[in-house]
Amino acid sequence: MNKNILHKEVQQYIKNQLRNDLASLALKGSPFNNIDNREILQQVESMTKAEKKLPTWFETEGIFYPPALSVEQTSSEITAKFKAALVEGTHMVDITGGFGVDDYYFSKHFRRVIHCEVNTALSEIATHNFKQLKATNISTVEGDGLEYLHEIESTDLIYADPARRDQAKRKVFLLSDCTPDLTKHLEFLFSKSRKILIKTSPLLDLKAGLGELSGVTHIYIVAVKNEVKELLWFLDASSKPEDLLITAVNLDRDSDTTSVFSFNPEEENQSLAGIGHVATFLYEPNAAVMKSGAFNLVAERYGLKKLHPNTHLYTGDKLVDFPGRRFRVKIAEDYNKKSVKKLLAGKKANLTTRNFPDTVSSLRKKFRISDGGDTYAFFCSGPEDRKLLIVTEKI
């Protein structure tokens, strides 16, 4: 960590480059004798990524940034704030501390937070930044978090966000392929804390995760603006399989709203969704609900019909508060070239396909439909496997 980067004139220079092209900046060379141009590029690239993802860091003076990959892999502030609000206690240990975004927010709910990071440079950066952020109740430990746990008797919570890249830097998703492999250390972790919280890739299959972990009491599927960002797995040594709860969460930083849909897997297993023709309103579940697999329960709980067993779109004549997008149906017809040409050809529309043979891109090209506007058109399979075109307006 080159602390010369923290000098005021260097910091100002970096901020002045945030809107400039990185390739052009790389050719200029460093204007400072004691700072390599690669170090400046790292700060510019990472600070640029932090502007929207980590506004508190971006707006705080004297923050030192790691390589851009570390900023990409860290939690966003909105997800870190959400997960931290789910827990509280006196003492917790993060065994894979990284850049420290999660720990900054955990420190608002715990008296003491221990940030363990095996990467020496990243540990030094996090230590410096916690001071700049005035997070005085976070202690940093340079080294293996699992080894650190051997030094303590117990803690209220163990948190882990295992690295999701293998030795060849390829992305991995199964917990057993991540570093550390927590599936090999669960018994030891439970000997140090009754409660464990694990963050995993949003691509991890829920059944696969449940197959690798024991003691799971709650799974949070966390989406931001309808894009699933992470899965949170709460583990308790005394839990029973029937206690499992799955919660699909969709956060919106702009409107400061949160959509929540919770259920026990057995509820989904026992639910039946009726099939119905297109009614007054059309409903599309958000990405977190889709990831949860509660396709029948969401229909039953909100009094809606599905258009088809494999088309996860729902319909009804009443407007209900729904965990997803809501649309008022304007026209619903059987799909054919004539109907598409009459309603959409040469116009602007937002297209969605569900259980349909053509892709959005092929439909746009075939019928010269440009993206955008206030019209939302769905191409999908409906009752009796009929192919449908549903033209709607968003509510």
* Per-residue model confidence as pLDDT tens digits over 188-208: 999 999 999 999 999 999 999
CATH number, domain of 48, equals 1.10.10
Average pLDDT over residues 211-230: 95
Q: Which of 98-112, 141-155, 157-171 has the lowest average pLDDT?
A: 157-171
Whether 148 has a pLDDT exceeding 90, the answer reads yes
Domain boundary among 24, 52, 70: 70
Contacts of 130 by beta carbon, 8 Å cutoff, 6+ apart: 100, 103, 104, 115, 138, 140
Domain boundary among 263, 280, 308: 263
Interval 327-346: pLDDT, tens: 999 999 999 999 999 999 99
CA 187 – CA 250 distance, rounded (Å): 33
Q: Per residue, what are the HEC states of the chain?
A: CCHHHHCHHHHHHHHHCCCCCHHHHHHHCCCCCCCCHHHHHHHHHHHHHHHHHCHHHHHCCCCCCCCHHHHHHCCCHHHHHHHHCCCCEEEEEECCCCCCHHHHHHCCCEEEEEEEECCHHHHHHHHHHHHHCCCCCEEEEECCHHHHHCCCCCCCEEEECCECECCCCCECCCHHHCECCHHHCHHHHHHHCCEEEEEECCCCCHHHHHHHCCCEEEEEEEEECCEEEEEEEEEECCCCHHHCEEEEEEEECCCCEEEEEEECHHHHHHCCCCECCCCCEEEEECHHHHHHCCCCHHHHHHCCEEEECCEEEEEECCCCCCCEEEEEEEEEEECCHHHHHHHCCCCECEEEEECCCCCHHHHHHHHCCECCCCEEEEEEECHHHCEEEEEEEEC
pLDDT band at 255; cut points 50, 70, 90: low
Q: Which amino acid appears at position 166 of this protein?
A: D
If asked whether residues 157 and 204 sit together in one domain, one would say yes
Instruction: Output the pLDDT for position 169.
Output: 62
If asked whether residues 251 and 356 sit together in one domain, one would say no
If asked whether residues 372 and 321 sit together in one domain, one would say yes
If asked whether residues 66 and 79 sit together in one domain, one would say no
If asked whether residues 64 and 81 sit together in one domain, one would say no
Average pLDDT over residues 48-64: 96
Whether 165 has a pLDDT exceeding 90, the answer reads no
Whether 164 has a pLDDT exceeding 90, the answer reads no
Average pLDDT over residues 131-150: 97
If asked whether residues 315 and 372 sit together in one domain, one would say yes
If asked whether residues 224 and 370 sit together in one domain, one would say no
Q: Which of 21-35, 47-61, 320-334, 337-351 has the lowest average pLDDT?
A: 21-35
Show the domain range for 218: 74-263
Instruction: Output the pLDDT for position 245.
Output: 97
CA 338 – CA 309 distance, rounded (Å): 27
If asked whether residues 328 and 352 sit together in one domain, one would say yes
Domain boundary among 263, 278, 297: 263
The pTM of the full predicted model, rounded to 2 decimals, is: 0.93
If asked whether residues 59 and 151 sit together in one domain, one would say no
If asked whether residues 293 and 158 sit together in one domain, one would say no
Instruction: Output the pLDDT for position 29.
Output: 84
Whether 168 has a pLDDT exceeding 70, the answer reads no
Instruction: Output the pLDDT for position 26.
Output: 86
pLDDT band at 301; cut points 50, 70, 90: very high
Instruction: Output the pLDDT for position 24.
Output: 86
Interval 101-135: pLDDT, tens: 999 999 999 999 999 999 999 999 999 999 999 99
Structural domains of the chain, count: 3
CATH number, domain of 172, equals 3.40.50.150
If asked whether residues 175 and 92 sit together in one domain, one would say yes
Instruction: Output the pLDDT for position 264.
Output: 96
pLDDT band at 87; cut points 50, 70, 90: very high
pLDDT band at 166; cut points 50, 70, 90: low
